[in-house]
Structure formats: structure tokens, C-alpha cells
Structure 1
Amino acid sequence: MSANPSISYLHDEVDDSDKKCLWVFAYGSLCWKPGIKYKKSVKGHISGYSRKFWQGNTTHRGTDENPGRVATLIEESEGSVHGIAFAISEETAIPYLNKRECEMGGYVTRFAKFHSDKGQSFQVLLYIATSANPHWMGDASVSEIAGQIVDCKGQSGHNVEYLIRLADFTRQHFPLYDDRHLFSLEKEVLKELKARNIYVSNLMGTGEGCVTFIKKDTANPSGSRDGQPARFESFQHAAKIPGKTLRCLNL
């Protein structure tokens, strides 16, 4: 796979045949690095949850000695979380996600109702961490979490990259959605990096395996304009800023 992010088109409509697919909701690294083949990708949100960096990670973004901080979902009656729903298109996807999220990440699975930006709704599979798993780190102040993120890296890259790519993705695709926890962490991390004289770009990795999602223009299927390729935001924008619980499914 190329070191540069590949482009994938977002879809507006979900037809009846699509609703028969297994859909997975992405709210963390799956938003920009899904690692699976999918039939469709649709923007939207789920309700009753908020996104928090309360889950520890000792494989992808940290180590056993120095765990990183990654996102999970916390039940909150008035909360909502925006992300992408993927319609799974091959049988290898679930075993891959189970290993990535459950075996290595400490997550379990639940189902929730997803609401697309176009007003359609259907069930999605969630990967979610709870306080019962050994990697759980729980609540802490923004400054404490930010400091841990700045200090950590794992086999998939620096913990800062995880945060910045997720914040940039959310800002790009949901400009009216104010995820206060996510954006306050981003601000504090950038502040800490500046204090340490560390450039964000040095922590962002190569982009290998990353996907950039754009909305397909039906009048201009190539996505280009005046002969130029489609433009999209990158992490450089951020650098300018001061249910019932189930075991992992084997489907």
C-alpha cells in the first residue's frame, strides 16, 4: 500500500440491500485507518455516548511500560458521537477487527443505532472499552491525559498522531460538531509540544494505510476540479492551533 493516504468516497444513501450488511461504526483510528475492505462508508452519529480518551493502549500507541491513551465510548444520555459507518464487504473483516480491537486493544462489542447525515438509521456494531479490561486508564484532567499522549508511542506510531488525525478528521467532516474533550486535548497537546520545542510533523508518521474520505461529486466523478486533484485537509491544519455488552463477535 502506498505511503500516501488513499482516497475513498463517502456515500449519501443507503438502500435496502445495504441494510442487510453488517455495519461497523468508526469513531477512533478506524475513521482514518480502517484496514478493511468495505462496500460503503457513510457519515453520521450515534446517540447516548460520548467519546473519551480513557482507554490505555500497550500495542499500537504505547507500550507495557508506558501505555498510550486512545478513544472509547462512555454512556451518556445526552451525548452523541460522530463518525463513519462501514458496510463490511468480506468475511475476513471481523476476524481482523476482533484481533485489532479486542485481542490487542481490550475492547468488547455492542450494537447501537446509527443516524446518517441524510436521516437514515440502521444498526451498527461498536467496539467499546469498559473499566473491566486491564488496559483501562479512566478519567483524568486534560493536562494529565495530554502529557501522557505526548510521552507515548507504539508499534503503529506516536500517540500524538492518533489524536491529531482524529481531531483533523472530525473537524473536516463535522465542522458544526464541537467535541470538547477531543479538541481540548488537541489544544493542550499542541501547547505541550510547543513548550518542548517538538514539531507535530515529526510525530505524524508516513501515512501508510491511511484513508482520506471525500464526498463524491456526481457531476464530477473523478473528484478533480479544473484538471487538479481533489483537495482535502491534513493534520497540518491542527498544527496551527494554539446496549448490552457482548464478547467479540466471530461472524
Structure 2
Amino acid sequence: MAMWVFGYGSLIWKAGFNYDEKLFGFIKGYRRLFYQGSTDHRGTPAFPGRTVTLLPCDGEKCWGMAYKISGEENKEIALSYLEVREKQYDTKAYVDFYTEPNSTIATIQGVMVYVASPDPRINPNYLGPASLEEMAKQIIQAEGPSGPNRDYLFQLDEALKQHGCEDSHVIDLANAVRKLLPETKPSS
């Protein structure tokens, strides 16, 4: 039996594991927000970056990529990889995945997704809400082993746009970061 994994952050553009099929679509009842601290990929324990997590939100859709993984060995390898990559996300949820915007019938049921709890007693890296300017300043300054935090934000913004998806939180935050970045002057 195949396993399906839903990615709503960097998994959209960089799976990092073997898969049989990928589908762009959405899950219902969740909103993607830059509320999770990253101390291992896009920041450090001293200066965490911000990455996305999901918060329950009635009436919302979160677009992303679902990956089908078949074969016991491929599933084990993918899960081992994801447990390290997503280790700061303390919860796995199993959700319905849709590909058609107005569909009431799920394309795939029981798709696994990693979520970071908003409870700091369970998830010490949860940063929660802040103003766009505060989040933008933090993202500009944060950098970890996987690179600058702003690259994560810009790649997510671009990946969603390539699929025709407009996520206002991602767009507004990316624009706030661009506004604060010094302009690059052409070399003479």
C-alpha cells in the first residue's frame, strides 16, 4: 500500500526522497503561517529562523505538494529522512487532499503531514504570531546550515506562484523582506 506525504513548505520544491508521483493540491481547514522557529535548518538556537507550520482555521485551504511513496524500503527511507528533516515538527496529522478547488470529495484520504504544535510546553521552537515587520527582520538576519532564512521564504513564494497559488501571508511577508533588504547596485 502506498503512503502519501503532504508538503506545504520546502517539501514543495525539494522532496529529498524517492517518490512515484506528485500532485499539487490542497488540504482544508488549515492555514500556512510563518510561526515555527527553525534552529536546525534556517536558523540557530541563538537566532532562530522562521518557517511555516499549519494552524487549524475553518474555511481555509492550504496548497502544497502531495507525494506518493510505494514499496516498503522506499517508505522506510522516506520516513527516516523526514523524521530528521521535520524533527522540529512534533505532530503528524492525517488529512484529506484535494486537487480540484470546488471538490467536496477528496482525491486522496489519509495523507500524512507534519505540523508544529502551537503549545511552547510541547514545542519549544514555536514562535507564534508577530507583526510582518518583526517577522521580516528576523528572517533577514537568520541563517542556518540549510542557508539564509530569506531563501526559504523566497523559494516558497516562487514555488507557490509557479503553481498559480497566491498565499497572502507568504506574499506579504516576502514583500516585507524585500522592502527591508538593501538594494543591490549593479557593478561597474
What's the TM-score, normalizing by structure 1? 0.66
Deviations 1:49-98 (A, max 9, x none): 00000000011000011000000001001111001100113021101101
List aligned pairs for 1:52-67, cutoff 5 A: 52-67=33-48
Gap change, CA 1:147 and 1:88, over 3 Å in 2? same
> Residue 147 of structure 1 aligns to a residue in which SS?
helix
Cα separation, 2, equivalents of 1:86 and 1:170:
16
Runs of 4 or more consecutive aligned structure 1 residues displaced over 6 Å after TM superposition: none
Q: 2:114 aligns with which of 116, 127, 132?
A: 127
The gaps in structure 2 that reach 5 residues or longer are: none
Number of residue pairs the alignment of both structures matches: 174
What's the TM-score, normalizing by structure 2? 0.88
Does 2:177 correspond to 1:189?
Answer: yes
Deviation at 1:117, TM superposition (A): 3.7
Give 2:6's aligned residue: 25
Give 1:144's aligned residue: 134
Would the aligned equivalents of 1:106 and 1:135 in 2 still touch at CA under 8 Å? no
Deviations 1:115-149 (A, max 9, x none): 12496232200100012301010001111101100
> Residue 76 of structure 1 aligns to a residue in which SS?
strand
Cα separation, 1, equivalents of 2:178 and 2:16:
28
Deviation at 1:100, TM superposition (A): 1.2
Deviation at 1:198, TM superposition (A): 5.3
Would the aligned equivalents of 1:59 and 1:154 in 2 still touch at CA under 8 Å? yes
- Computing the radius of gyration over CA atoms, which structure comes out larger, 1 or 2? 1
Cα separation, 1, equivalents of 2:11 and 2:82:
10
Would the aligned equivalents of 2:90 and 2:116 in 1 still touch at CA under 8 Å? yes
Would the aligned equivalents of 2:47 and 2:142 in 1 still touch at CA under 8 Å? yes
Q: 1:35 aligns with which of 16, 38, 54?
A: 16
Would the aligned equivalents of 1:149 and 1:189 in 2 still touch at CA under 8 Å? yes
Q: Give the root-mean-square deviation of aligned CA atoms.
A: 1.5
Deviations 1:169-213 (A, max 9, x none): 00110x2x33111100010011011xx3358xxxxxxxxxxxxxx
Would the aligned equivalents of 1:62 and 1:155 in 2 still touch at CA under 8 Å? yes
